[in-house]
Structure 1
Amino acid sequence: MALVDQGTKAMALGQLSEEQRIPLIGDLLGLQLAFNPGTIMSLGSNSTWVFTVIGIAAAIVLFYAAWRATSMAWAIAIGFVWGGAVGNLIDRLFAPPGFGHGHVTDFLAYGNLFIGNLADIFIGIGVGLGILQMLRSHRSQLRSRGLTPDLGHADSSTMLGKRES
């Protein structure tokens, strides 16, 4: 995923400009080059080195977590987050203006809200998959303890509020 992210950023650097937006879906989604020193919507733009350190720590922790994942579903979810984190970390380490202070290359313009990249999408997918896995795990634990009804097997009497005497 980090390689796909870096490949799309390289294409964006070669084909797009900061001044012109290319619409893909009207005003909702377009292509426009941007360089982000901070996080989403450029928050923390004066702390690029802090995000570099956090990115390095996150990459190490996520790699270890994926290695120790208890299921394939968790490994996939963590892998998406790791791939996105590493994709943006590569920019922070090696992109201008300098080592550890690099600005992340963004090119997916979401209306007038913000401009992101595939790494951001990968992180979002991974977080979403992780949340789904947590919900599945929690539901399974409750069901194994008999604390939740199995909604998939309701009959018409329970659906209509009738009870057996």
Structure 2
Amino acid sequence: MAEAERVIGTPEVDDETAAPAGQPRGKRRIAVLLTVAILAYLLDLGSKMLVVAKLEHQEPIRVIGDLLKFQAIRNAGAAFGIGEAFTVIFTTIAATVIVVIVRLARKLYSLPWAIALGLLLGGALGNLTDRIFRSPGIFQGAVVDFIAPAHFAVFNLADSAICCGGVLIVILSFRGLDPDGTVHKD
């Protein structure tokens, strides 16, 4: 975990006294991270419950002609259905990501980073919930995917939150904004 903190660039700082001036501090950054995570998680969970109740074992629903449809599938693997035999490993990875984000939250002073990490946390929790509680068994469950664009993989809202959080982290990194709120002009 300490290696992940070093790589992401969060120096050891005292929460209240070392925050850069004008940056969110204290409990506000954790509140933002948790609010975004809970919202992403609840939207994902609610959409999956609706899909399982109304769409599973039914014909796909065409949303935009042949370009987009809702089609319930169960994905035991990772993205694009790769690695279906490694569900336990994906469960472990998701749990590790959650632990790292929670540890990083203590040193987080950037609002954009709080949003990005909240999206990652909510998405990871959404897919982890499926892997723990859905059939065929505990820690072997298949993730419910249902958003099916033409010529692309089927995915869910948790996957979208993870991708959006990842893209935001890349943008923040390229702009030189660190999780601790400092800005680097290289």
Q: CA deviation at 1:29?
A: 1.3
**Which residue of structure 2 aligns with residue 5 of structure 1?**
44
Per the TM alignment, residue 18 of structure 1 is displaced from its structure 2 partner at its CA by 4.5
**RMSD between aligned residues:** 1.5
| 2:126 is equivalent to residue 73 of structure 1 | no
Deviation per residue, 1:28-85 (Å, 9 max, x gap)? 2110000000011110001111111111111111222234223111111011011101
Where does residue 148 of structure 1 map in the other structure?
none
In 2: Cα distance, 1:65 partner to 1:76 partner: 13
Percent identity of the aligned residues? 36
Query: Relative to structure 2, which stretch is displaced further, 1-10 or 64-73?
Result: 64-73
- The corresponding residue for 1:141 is 184
CA–CA distance in structure 2, aligned partners of residues 81 and 67 of structure 1:
16
Q: 2:53 aligns with which of 4, 14, 29?
A: 14
**CA drift at 1:22:** 1.1
Q: Does structure 2 retain, via aligned residues, the 8 Å contact 1:18–1:32?
A: no
Deviation at 1:125, TM superposition (A): 0.8
Write out the 4+ residue segments of structure 1 that deviate beyond 6 Å after TM superposition: none
| Higher alpha-carbon Rg | 1
Number of aligned positions between the proteins:
142
Counting only pairs closer than 5 Å after superposition, residues 101-112 of structure 1 correspond to structure 2 as: 101-112=140-151
Aligned equivalents of 1:94, 1:41: Cα separation in 2: 21
TM-score (norm 1): 0.80
**Structure 2 segments unaligned to the other structure (5+ residues):** 1-39, 178-182
Question: Any gaps of 5 or more consecutive residues in structure 1?
Answer: 144-165
Using the size of structure 2 for normalisation, the TM-score is 0.72
What amino acid is the match of 1:122?
A
Greater relative contact order (CA < 8 Å, ≥ 6 in sequence): 2
